[in-house]
Structures are given as C-alpha cells and as structure tokens.
Amino acid sequence: MTHTERGFPCATSCPWAAGYIGYATQQGVPAAGLLVPLSGVIAIAGGLSIALGYKAKVGAWLIVLFLVPVTLKMHNFWAVTDPMMHGMQIAMFMKNVSMVGSALLIAYFGSGPVSLDARRGGQPAGASAMRG
C-alpha cells in the first residue's frame, strides 16, 4: 500500500514529491533531487515565519530567495512555443512577481502589531506605521 492509498496528504503535494522533482528535471534544474526539497523547506519556513509574524523580515527574504530562481527557471514563458502553455506560464510568472513584491514590502516594513515579534518585543507595536 502506497502513501497515497493510505491517505498520506504529502505523497503528491509536497515539494519533495517525485512529480515536482521530475518536472524540475524536465525544466533543466540542475541537481533537482537536492534543490527541489531544499526550496520546499525554504518556502515553508519563510511562509510560516510570515504567517506567524515571527522574524517576518527574515521569512520574507526566504520567500524572495525561493521565488526569484523558481520564477525565472520554472516559468520562463519566453521559451514556450505552445500558445496555451505560454499564457499559463505568463500568468504564473506574474503571480510570482507579485508575491516577490509583497515579500519585499514585508522585508522592509516587518510584521504588524498583532505579530509574535510585536508581542515579544522584537518590533514595537507601531514600528511599521512609523516608516513612511
């Protein structure tokens, strides 16, 4: 019985699943067996950091570190000849560019007043409003 048959949710949707590694290999990612799981860990760590507001600036830089190479390598719409896939890759590329912009805003302003950083004194409650 496989992980999928047992209902293990991460068997096909986690970044270290064989499908993601295979797709990255097909896209020309070197050492995909190492880099895909590593990028997944970086993305999860950055996302949790931002969501919890714990060291959100560091988490935002982790998201940027993840998104820039992934966007350029995996969503290179300029190299796609199929019109449908070209459109899909443009949409995915632009989505990632918007997320990079959001992460850069968080990297600059930090987390808000209801974050774990603000509660533990890592960032004053009005620090994000004082910049500007």
Tens digits of residue pLDDT in 24-69: 888 888 888 899 999 999 999 999 999 999 999 999 999 999 999 9
pTM of the model: 0.77
Q: Are 57 and 106 in contact (CB under 8 A)?
A: yes
Q: Position 120: which residue type?
A: R
Nearest to 57, CA basis, from 115, 125, 129, 130:
115
User: Measured at the alpha carbon of residue 70, what is the angle toward residues 69 and 73, in degrees to the nearest 5?
Assistant: 80
Q: How far is CA 40 from the centre of its chain?
A: 8
pLDDT digits (tens, 9 = 90+) for 102-120: 999 999 999 888 888 888 8
φ and ψ at residue 37, rounded to 5 degrees: -65, -40
pLDDT of amino acid 13: 59
Nearest to 123, CA basis, from 102, 65, 131, 132:
131
**DSSP secondary structure string for all residues of 83-114:** HHHHHHHHHHHHHHHHHHHHHHHHHHH---TT
